[in-house]
Amino acid sequence: MENIILIGYMGSGKSTVARELHQRNNMEIIDTDSKIVKEQGKSINEIFAQDGETAFRDLETDCLKQLSEKKDSFILSTGGGMPVREENRALLKNLGTVFFLKADTDTILERVKHDTARPLLQDEDRRSKIETMLMTRTPLYEAAADYIIVTDGRTVEEIAGEIISVINR
Ligand code: S3P
């Protein structure tokens, strides 16, 4: 089966949808943030604080390059900033079918309201931060995607079902 690649903003549901897909097709889940944290032996917050965002972005690109060598199929849950780099958008497309999980600001705010692990969201005015980032990033997510899946007001089962029906087409 072809690889399923999930992209989208923080809190768009990539990890939850990946788990639901795994329950249905038993494909391995790979989460780029978890892979980086494991390999570096430090949290995302620590990588941003000690090494800077560019260093983290380089690790994300390395991660995609490593995955392009992988033989068995997988479900890839990516960090929200992964598609921002043009090089990463090309690498993602080569890895498999790319699904952009699209969520609006209210949905995202609700999902990340207790979050302390995402350095880019530790802002006094989270709503404006999200709105500004979505304005810049949405065209890039759309450029990277083969399919756009609107997630607002939908259950994880519905979203995973839509992805599976696209893959089985
Ligand atoms: C980021 C998203 C995070 C993580 C890092 C940066 C971003 O991943 O990679 O905090 O730039 O959007 P999630 O989308 O899994 O939260």
Q: Is the CB of 112 under 6 A from ligand 1?
A: no
Rounded CA separation 23/43 (Å): 27
- What's the one-letter identity of residue 57? R
Amino acid at 41: G
pLDDT by residue (tens digit) across 138-156?
A: 999 999 999 999 999 999 9
Is the per-residue pLDDT at 169 higher than 90?
no
Mean pLDDT of 128-142: 98
Helix, strand or coil, per DSSP, at residue 19:
helix
**Which phi and psi (to 5°) does residue 90 adopt?**
-70, -40
Predicted structure pTM score: 0.97
Indicate if ligand 1 lies below 6 Å from the C-beta of 21. Answer: no
Q: Whose CA is nearest to atom 11 of ligand 1?
A: 81
Q: pLDDT band at 48, cuts 50/70/90?
A: very high
Instruction: Give yes or no for residue 71 having a pLDDT over 90.
Output: no
pLDDT in tens, 31-45: 999 999 999 999 999
**pLDDT at residue 1 greater than cutoff 90:** no
User: Which atom number of ligand 1 is nearest to the Cα of residue 77?
Assistant: 15
**Integer Cα distance of 37 and 59 in angstroms:** 10
Distance between alpha carbon 49 and the CA centroid of its chain, in Å?
21
> Which residue from 120, 123, 132 has its CB within 8 A of the most atoms of ligand 1, so it is best to mutate?
120
**For all residues of the chain together, what is the average pLDDT?**
97
CA 128 to chain centre: 21
Buried b / exposed e along 114-130 (16+ C-beta atoms within 10 A):
eeeebbebeeeebeeeb
* Chain center to CA of 2: 18
Query: Closest ligand 1 atom, CA of 15?
Result: 15
The amino acid occupying position 110 is E
Q: Does ligand 1 come within 6 angstroms of the Cβ of 118?
A: yes
- Is the beta carbon of 44 within 6 A of some atom in ligand 1? yes
Q: C-alpha 103: how far from its chain's center?
A: 12
Q: Are 150 and 100 in contact (CB under 8 A)?
A: no
Q: Is the CB of 13 under 6 A from ligand 1?
A: no
Residue 53: is its pLDDT beyond 90? yes
Contact of 99 with 146, CB cutoff 8 Å: yes
Say yes or no: CB of residue 31 within 6 Å of ligand 1: no
Burial of 25 (0-12, 13-18, 19+ CB in 10 A): middle
